[in-house]
Amino acid sequence: MLQFLIEKLSNHPGLFLFCRGVFEANFRAIRRTIREQLPAQPGGRVLDVACGPGAFSELFPAEGYVGVDMNERYIRYAQRHYPGTFQIMDARKLHFDDDTFDDVLVYGLLHHLDDADARAVLEGISRVLKPSGRVLIIEDIPTESRLNLIGHLLHRIENGHFIRTAEEYRGLLDGYLRQQGEQFFRSGFCDYYMASLTARQETASAATAARAQQAT
């Protein structure tokens, strides 16, 4: 019943954002973390992978911002409410040229994906990221405090079935990006792992060549 309600609610972008905002203290900690860890760069191109209804596009200059999400309703909502470019796209198959983006934001996607799908996303990100590019990943981790009953409940009813530990996220990210820093923080009732990363290889073509060599 609760699952059914969550799915219904997720179909309404405005309501989805509002409810998450209630449980995440209006996303204050999330916004602060994005501003601090991925400060907007003048003239920079930013890719927001799984941008949802687009609420975090406001943290970047509209002319350089591209948000992609698989959910058509969210993208239509984002196009109506926020400046920037929004496209319906599966994050596992990013349709952008190599070395296109200076910055990539991933907030709340990987815990919806199994390891194979998460790896496909990370592979795409490492390809479209410029050699000097930066990546910020913010993902749910298991609720830390036993007293945070609402946090535990949210994880039970939400549809992210692959909430990992920090160790598990590190293991996933390591093959694709170079870790520069990490933090753990609470946003409302939700506990998060944040990793700031840079490109692992000198260029996307070097990375492709390295992978081809590994495969032989």
Ligand X SMILES: C[S@@+](CC[C@H](N)C(=O)[O-])C[C@H]1O[C@@H](n2cnc3c(N)ncnc32)[C@H](O)[C@@H]1O
Instruction: Compare residues 23 and 168 and give the one whose CB is closer to ligand X.
Output: 23
CA distances from 208 to 102, 204, 205, 214 (A): 19, 6, 5, 10
Least distance CB 178 / ligand X (angstroms): 23
Least distance CB 187 / ligand X (angstroms): 10
Instruction: Compare residues 20 and 130 and give the one whose CB is closer to ligand X.
Output: 20
Angle between the N-to-C axes of helices 166-174 and 115-128, in degrees from 0 to 180, rounded to the nearest 10:
50
Beta pairing class for 129-140 and 190-199: antiparallel
Could you say which residues in the range 75-94 bind ligand X, by CB under 6 A? Answer: 90-92
Q: What is the DSSP letter of 96?
A: S
Instruction: Compare residues 131 and 186 and give the one whose CB is closer to ligand X.
Output: 186
Least distance CB 189 / ligand X (angstroms): 14
User: Cα–Cα distance between 68 and 87 in angstroms, integer?
Assistant: 5
CA distances from 84 to 60, 104, 134 (A): 9, 15, 19
Among all residues, whose Cβ is closest to ligand X?
52
Query: Does 112 sit near ligand X (CB under 6 A)?
Result: yes
Total Cβ atoms within 10 A of residue 21: 15
Instruction: Compare residues 52 and 64 and give the one whose CB is closer to ligand X.
Output: 52
Could you say which residues in the range 33-72 bind ligand X, by CB under 6 A? Answer: 50-53, 55, 69-71
Which range binds ligand X by CB under 6 A, 108-116, 167-175, 183-191, 198-206?
108-116
